Amino acid sequence: MVSKGRVTIREVAERAGVSTATASRALSGNHPVPAATRARVLRAARDLDYVANAHARALVGGGRKMAAVVVRQVTSPFYAQVAEGVEAEAADRGWLCVVGATGGDAQREMDFVRLMREEGARLVILVGGVVEDDAYRERVAHYAHALDSSGARLVLCGRPAPDPEIPALVVEFDNEAGARAVTAHLLSAGHRRIVFLGGLPGNTALDARVAGYRAALAEHGLPPEAAHVVDCGLGRAPGHRAMTELLKRTREFTAVFAGDDMVAAGVLRAIAESGLSVPGDISVVGYNDIPLAEDFNPPLTTVRTPAEELGRAAVRIALRDPEHAAGAHHLLGTHIVVRDSVGAPPPGRAL
Amino acid sequence: MVSKGRVTIREVAERAGVSTATASRALSGNHPVPAATRARVLRAARDLDYVANAHARALVGGGRKMAAVVVRQVTSPFYAQVAEGVEAEAADRGWLCVVGATGGDAQREMDFVRLMREEGARLVILVGGVVEDDAYRERVAHYAHALDSSGARLVLCGRPAPDPEIPALVVEFDNEAGARAVTAHLLSAGHRRIVFLGGLPGNTALDARVAGYRAALAEHGLPPEAAHVVDCGLGRAPGHRAMTELLKRTREFTAVFAGDDMVAAGVLRAIAESGLSVPGDISVVGYNDIPLAEDFNPPLTTVRTPAEELGRAAVRIALRDPEHAAGAHHLLGTHIVVRDSVGAPPPGRAL
DNA sequence: ATGAAAGCGCTAACAA
DNA sequence: TTGTTAGCGCTTTCAT
């Protein structure tokens, strides 16, 4: 290496015997430069292994193509799929993609969004359900306006816009419809006492699923008291714990609707540990259809939410028509994937 | 919003009635500024919702704290965990973390590394085994020198340095030891005909596991012919396909050592489909202990490779002592996690 | 076709 | 303590 530090366009220009202006033109290739000159510059750049300084370029050019996805955890299969979708769609367009993890902490979310503003991200995608309180509404309104005023876009994935007037767009799954569908699936298998395990009061995604669950129950002529919601939140461990406790307390149910597939993993485990079988004694359904759901014991019947498509859609929609996009609300469909975790209720326990 | 475009330090300075230099000093807080002035500036910045332009800052300050992890796929549980470790360790130090996915394509890897050079990343972490051919060696040598000459560091995670002289450091698991240990576990359960399914000739991680497998066999006094390696590569689908075929061809084995847990998922599935049981008829072990391995049917005995720790270690080591780090080679230990997928060979088939 | 020069937003000397 | 000035590396007028 000749000298410490990056090689600049100046060195390239010198070596090619031209000015930095000409070098710049040849390198970016938007201005007409004679082929011979151009070749000399390109050659020099290659010899020197020159790469442009993105900061300098962004400073003069007004930002760069960078998108940011913010998720709770990268290791959650669902979030990982969404992030992969965003990454893939961004990469397809030559955009850089930054992934941020918040661990569910609002402060870290705020810090990260601020950082993205500093970095000049032109697209910020916030993924995952949240509890929609005043703090949330204020936070998001702030993000939206701040981002918008510097020409960047905000996409809310699977979480609501606190106010339709806000310059943000929303892309999410129809949680209520999906939940209604699986609940109906359980009902038509003969189940009448179904518990929803994994509620998280205030969380928009879970509340919608609970609403769909209640709606399906009502549509089948069951009274409101037939609904039984255990608010244990999401995750394998909470699901396992809640199910273990529930089994100790009562057997007044024949099926479990888990808030998501990770909860379902915990539920299946708890049932197995209690010596019961699925679906022989208890039927179980999950939500999301994560990649390993078919490897559970038994393979899990669940609702497929095309997570990668959600991520891709977020980018696509945000970049499609910048003007009309604000305030738009897109719903992605879901469907049931039937595997082996649902059967008829055990004889004699149907009601 | 007053004007389109970002608020600059100039506007903050104006509003606070000071020069941009003073504003800068008050904002970054490294130079002494009287409390009163400082408060005025901070106030103005808050009122205007000012965020510094990271590009301008990086341009003058000589880069910024940014690390990049490059993985094959974000949705692979193992890679996701490594990425999470890197992200967490980077965030702890106030560094930004960028995640890139290559899909296993060398070209995309090169493009991404180049992009990171443009962006001024000070730390690039390449994760995952590779086939170590000439193209690979050349590529990595280039990354290493290019990054080094601009003061950035390269970390190879779970892949070898093509040449110890190269300015890169290596952090990886002791694949051979881990593989030897699980193989020994299988042997002491009585198995003698164990097939290794998921080889990928040339891939350093898999080759090391195969070597450990052969070593364990040899240590137990078995002849080299006792080794049976099926090179189907990694992933659930290849594992499923290869196992299905293998079962059609022969039953001359009582245990399967899957190249990783995803392969194991496919293997378990194939065995179940063929009407056989695990571990009654065939024992199975995996590698990596991904988060859902205990939810497989049956819960999988596997080798725990602390993936998140690998990611954290990569950052920690690279940032620890910049001078002595180059060329260093760190090995992280692994251990077996015993669950229910290993049993004694069926009576009469032990040998 | 090409060079000189201005300036993107910020920080760091250097003065005052 | 504070303001003035000079760049960081690049692109882009404006001349030539």
Q: What is the pLDDT of residues B191-211, one digit of tens each?
A: 999 999 999 999 999 999 999
Least confidently predicted of A157-166, B237-246, B278-287? A157-166
**3-class SS of residue B203:** strand
Predicted confidence at residue A322, as pLDDT, reads 61
Q: Which residues contact A94 (CB under 8 A, 6 or more apart)?
A: A65
> Is the separation of the CB atoms in B298 and B343 below 8 Å?
no
- β-pairing, A329-332 with A302-304? unpaired
pLDDT tens profile A278-313 = 999 999 999 999 999 999 999 999 999 999 999 999
Q: CA dist B293 to A32, A185, B262, B267, B290, Å?
A: 59, 28, 9, 13, 5
β partners of residue A256: A195, A284
To which residue do tokens 């970016």 refer?
Answer: A28
Predicted confidence at residue B328, as pLDDT, reads 82
A272 contacts on B by Cβ (under 8 Å) = none
Q: Which residues contact A161 (CB under 8 A, 6 or more apart)?
A: A140, A144, A168, A169, A170, A327, A329
Residue A151 has pLDDT above 50, yes or no: yes
Predicted confidence at residue A200, as pLDDT, reads 93
Residue B90 CA, nucleotide D9 C1', distance (Å): 27
How near does any CA of chain B get to the CA of A117, in Å?
7
Predicted confidence at residue B350, as pLDDT, reads 58
B236 contacts on A by Cβ (under 8 Å) = 291, 295
Average pLDDT value for residue range B321-331? 72
How near does any CA of chain B get to the CA of A60, in Å?
10
Residue B66 CA, nucleotide C11 C1', distance (Å): 20
Average pLDDT value for residue range A238-263? 97
| Residue A2 binned pLDDT confidence (cut-offs 50, 70, 90) | very low
Residue A9 CA, nucleotide C1 C1', distance (Å): 19
Q: Does B48 touch chain A (CB under 8 A)?
A: no
β partners of residue B173: B332
Is A54 near strand C, with its CB below 7 A from some atom of it?
Answer: no
Q: Do A75 and B53 make contact, defined as CB atoms within 8 angstroms? A: no
Average pLDDT value for residue range B176-187? 98
**pLDDT-above-70 percentage for chain A:** 96
In strand C, the nucleotides that come within 7 Å of a protein beta carbon are: 1-5, 7-13
Q: Which residues contact A188 (CB under 8 A, 6 or more apart)?
A: none
Q: Which residue of B has its CA nearest to A57?
A: B55
Q: What is the spatial order of strands in the sheet that B283-285 belongs to?
A: B228-230, B194-197, B255-258, B283-285
Which nucleotide has the least CA–C1' distance to B55? C9
**Nearest alpha carbon to residue B141 among B156, B121, B126, B161:** B161
Number of C-beta neighbours around residue A207 at 10 A: 18
Predicted confidence at residue A325, as pLDDT, reads 58
Which nucleotide has the least CA–C1' distance to B6? C9
* Distance between CA atoms of residues A237 and A243, nearest Å: 10
Predicted confidence at residue A4, as pLDDT, reads 59
Predicted confidence at residue B29, as pLDDT, reads 80
Which nucleotide has the least CA–C1' distance to A61? D11
Average pLDDT value for residue range A264-287? 98
In our burial notation (b when 16+ CB lie closer than 10 A, e otherwise), range A89-120 reads bbbeeebbbbbbbbeeeeebbeebbbbbbbbb
Q: CA dist A213 to A219, A227, A264, A339, B340, Å?
A: 10, 8, 16, 20, 35
User: According to DSSP H, which parts of chain B are helical?
Assistant: 9-16, 20-28, 35-48, 54-61, 77-92, 106-119, 134-149, 175-188, 204-219, 236-249, 261-273, 307-320, 322-325
* Distance between CA atoms of residues A148 and A132, nearest Å: 22
What would the two tokens of residue B148 be? 């080094």
β partners of residue A337: A302
pLDDT tens profile B80-98 = 999 999 999 998 998 888 8
pLDDT tens profile A91-112 = 899 888 888 889 888 998 998 9
pLDDT tens profile B97-113 = 888 889 888 998 998 99
**Nearest alpha carbon to residue A252 among A314, A296, A191:** A191
Predicted confidence at residue B341, as pLDDT, reads 98
Residue B325 has pLDDT above 70, yes or no: no
Average pLDDT value for residue range A33-49? 94
Is A20 near strand C, with its CB below 7 A from some atom of it?
Answer: yes
In our burial notation (b when 16+ CB lie closer than 10 A, e otherwise), range B211-232 reads ebbbbbbeeeebeeeebbbbbb
How near does any CA of chain B get to the CA of A225, in Å?
33
* Distance between CA atoms of residues A323 and A340, nearest Å: 47
Predicted confidence at residue A324, as pLDDT, reads 58
**Nearest alpha carbon to residue B9 among B70, B53, B73:** B53
* Distance between CA atoms of residues A302 and A176, nearest Å: 14
Predicted confidence at residue B129, as pLDDT, reads 85
- Which of A59, A101, A119 shows the shortest C-beta gap to B59? A59
Q: According to the per-residue pLDDT averaged within each range, which of A155-159, A228-232, B114-118 is highest?
A: A228-232
Which nucleotide has the least CA–C1' distance to B7? C9
Q: Does A19 touch chain B (CB under 8 A)?
A: no
